[in-house]
């Protein structure tokens, strides 16, 4: 990354300071200033403090906008997600932010938490001219919304939810669910229920439907009956999982001996419902979750792990790679067009079964 130098005077006046001024002020060499400003290890904390203070006093900084004038880039990537404040989102963000920062890009966040916000986003399109690329996280898009994003003419990538016509970083949700349910089948369970999401909900998430498909395929592969009333909506939250499990336990015809929860958060809630009902896990009911939430180990939940932060990081690297390639191809800096065609591939991430204490043999 180039490091053009900008200076801005404090207290209202505008002046330009050079690295030589900073070195003089701090009483160190220009090379030391350079090392300190790059955050390199071979500079003492005291010297770094002195250089930082001198740079602040002289208002000496590098400006990424000036860099943008050279490269034709804004050096920002937009991240669009349907929610914040959840573990999955925070993990993906963590991965994206770290990868972007390695390449000197800003992360601009847009959370489309309700329909009005979402409609406004796709009409006002605040991303326009503010980002070089866009990552869509766990957000299913309608065709018209997809058209609007494509119209930006910048590289696009999706994480989690499948999106056609756009590069994707995700897991095979059908296979992941089969892995979880096969594990229960192998333990001898025959009465296996599922707690998932509502595939017909207003958000039209596709992951719940894919994981339900894996559940159905695994049961059918084992010659087991698929019961509609053993597939409940847990809203992908701990509270929803608790309510769904409570409902499962009160159904006529006997309870399941094992439950596949489409997310670990719902598994946590299901565990709570079991405890309140005086049932032991896994002695009475086995529970398998999905994702490997950061607390799944703490609460001893068997799960199918997916690399969440890594999917975010790879989406960010893919976007930057597209920008770098198109910059090579088109020196006028019109980065978006080259990335549109032929790049709608999917990078599949491996999942693995993590055995913990919440699953055990089917009770006799």
Q: Which is nearer to its own copies, 24 or 94 (CB)?
A: 94
Q: Which is nearer to its own copies, 3 or 283 (CB)?
A: 3
Measured CA to CA, the distance from residue 115 to residue 109 in angstroms comes to: 17
Q: What are phi and psi of 252, to 5 degrees?
A: -70, 155
Shortest Cβ 202–its own copies spacing (Å): 10
Largest CA distance in the chain: 84
Shortest Cβ 332–its own copies spacing (Å): 12
Measured CA to CA, the distance from residue 151 to residue 129 in angstroms comes to: 12
Measured CA to CA, the distance from residue 138 to residue 82 in angstroms comes to: 7
Shortest Cβ 300–its own copies spacing (Å): 7
Shortest Cβ 349–its own copies spacing (Å): 17
Q: Which is nearer to its own copies, 98 or 172 (CB)?
A: 98
Location of structure tokens 């500079």: 43
CB burial string 165-201: b at 16+ within 10 A, e below: bbbbbbbbbbebbbbbbbbbbebebebbbbbbbbbee
Q: Which is nearer to its own copies, 86 or 325 (CB)?
A: 86
Instruction: Say if residues 332 and 181 touch (Cβ distance below 8 Å).
Output: no
Q: Which is nearer to its own copies, 216 or 311 (CB)?
A: 311
Shortest Cβ 168–its own copies spacing (Å): 21
């Amino acid at each position: 990354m180039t490091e053009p130098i900008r200076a801005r005077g404090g207290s209202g006046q505008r002046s330009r300071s050079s690295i030589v001024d900073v070195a003089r002020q701090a009483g160190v060499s220009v090379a030391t200033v350079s090392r300190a400003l790059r955050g390199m290890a071979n500079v003492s904390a005291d010297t770094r403090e002195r250089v930082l203070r001198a740079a602040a006093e002289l208002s000496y900084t590098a400006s990424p906008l000036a860099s943008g004038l050279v490269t034709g880039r804004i050096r920002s990537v937009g991240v669009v997600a349907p929610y914040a404040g959840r573990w999955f989102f925070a993990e993906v963000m963590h991965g994206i932010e770290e990868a972007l920062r390695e390449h000197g890009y800003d992360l601009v966040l847009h959370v489309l938490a309700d329909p009005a916000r979402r409609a406004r986003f796709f009409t006002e399109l605040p991303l326009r001219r503010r980002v070089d690329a866009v990552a869509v996280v766990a957000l299913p898009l309608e065709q018209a919304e997809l058209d609007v994003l494509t119209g930006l003419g910048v590289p696009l990538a999706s994480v989690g939810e499948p999106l056609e016509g756009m590069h994707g970083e995700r897991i095979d949700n059908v296979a992941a669910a089969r892995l979880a349910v096969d594990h229960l089948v192998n333990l001898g369970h025959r009465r296996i229920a599922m707690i998932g999401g509502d595939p017909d909900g207003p958000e039209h998430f596709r992951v719940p439907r894919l994981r339900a498909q894996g559940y159905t395929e695994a049961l059918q592969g084992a010659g087991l009956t698929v019961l509609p009333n053993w597939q409940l909506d847990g809203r992908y939250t701990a509270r929803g999982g608790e309510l769904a499990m409570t409902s499962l336990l009160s159904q006529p015809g006997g309870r399941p001996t094992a439950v596949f929860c489409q997310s670990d958060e719902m598994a946590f809630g299901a565990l709570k419902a079991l405890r309140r009902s005086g049932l032991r896990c896994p002695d009475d009911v086995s529970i398998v979750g999905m994702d490997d939430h950061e607390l799944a180990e703490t609460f001893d939940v068997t799960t199918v792990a997916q690399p969440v932060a890594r999917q975010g990081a790879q989406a960010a690297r893919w976007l930057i790679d597209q920008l770098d390639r198109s910059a090579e191809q088109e020196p006028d800096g019109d980065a978006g067009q080259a990335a549109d065609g032929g790049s709608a591939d999917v990078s599949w991430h491996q999942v693995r079964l993590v055995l913990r204490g919440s699953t055990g043999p089917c009770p006799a």
